[in-house]
């Protein structure tokens, strides 16, 4: 059965400390913009540089991957695992302060921005890209949905990319690992005109 972009959920991970800035900016900015704002970085610095300077998206006028806001097609991504293990320079167990910002692929398309689907980790040199919804059918959904993904890390890391900016009002839910982080999210949301649902999703974490 073909995948419907209205029903395909997308997930962006960030530290809860970045949430006030995201709300103030009225959305998520690409790494090309964020790099100038001194945010709390959670990924590999060398891979972010590769995405910013080397890897391009042919179906989007050859723009660099770092010029897009990245989303995964699943929570509990391999990147979250490696961040939590301390491999990117953050403390072991740091997933407790990382949140999942959830939307849909259809909402991304509706922004009117250039967008693309990657066949796997968009920071890998051998990844392919498509700006056609039919590309959803070529993804390895068994890997994307797997909870044990050894040997399938690249396929599970397929991404949905939205150029430049993703509006805050298109975020539908914020998933947290624990109540303390959920409380911080609620504090950040206090006074915001738009407030997505906040939920504790322990099964989205390691």
DSSP 148: -
CB atoms within 10 A of CB 69: 27
Secondary structure of residue 74 in the 3-state scheme = coil
Asked if 101 and 172 touch (Cβ cutoff 8 Å), the reply is no
The CA distance from 154 to 99, in Å, is: 22
**Closest of 159, 160, 135, 156 to residue 146, by C-alpha:** 156
The residue to which tokens 């991404």 are assigned: 159
The CA distance from 130 to 57, in Å, is: 8
Alpha helices in 98-203 (DSSP H): 105-110, 141-145, 153-156, 179-189
The CA distance from 174 to 100, in Å, is: 6
| Active site positions, annotated | 51, 159
């Amino acid at each position: 059965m073909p995948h419907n972009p209205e029903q395909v959920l997308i997930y962006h991970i960030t530290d809860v400390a970045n949430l006030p800035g995201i709300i103030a900016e009225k959305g998520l900015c690409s790494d090309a913009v964020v790099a100038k704002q001194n945010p709390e970085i959670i990924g590999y610095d060398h891979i972010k540089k590769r995405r910013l300077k080397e890897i391009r998206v042919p179906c989007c006028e050859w723009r660099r991957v770092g010029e897009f806001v990245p989303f995964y097609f699943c929570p509990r991504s391999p990147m979250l695992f490696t961040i939590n293990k301390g491999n990117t320079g953050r403390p072991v167990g740091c997933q407790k302060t990382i949140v999942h910002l959830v939307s849909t692929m259809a909402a991304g398309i509706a922004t009117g921005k250039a967008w693309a689907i990657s066949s796997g980790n968009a920071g890998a040199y051998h990844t392919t890209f498509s700006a056609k919804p039919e590309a959803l059918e070529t993804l390895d959904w068994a890997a994307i949905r797997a909870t044990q993904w050894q040997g399938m890390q690249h396929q599970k890391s397929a991404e949905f990319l939205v150029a430049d900016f993703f509006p805050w009002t298109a975020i539908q839910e914020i998933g947290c690992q624990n109540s303390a982080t959920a409380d911080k999210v609620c504090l950040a949301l206090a006074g915001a005109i738009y407030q997505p649902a906040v939920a504790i999703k322990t099964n989205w974490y390691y």
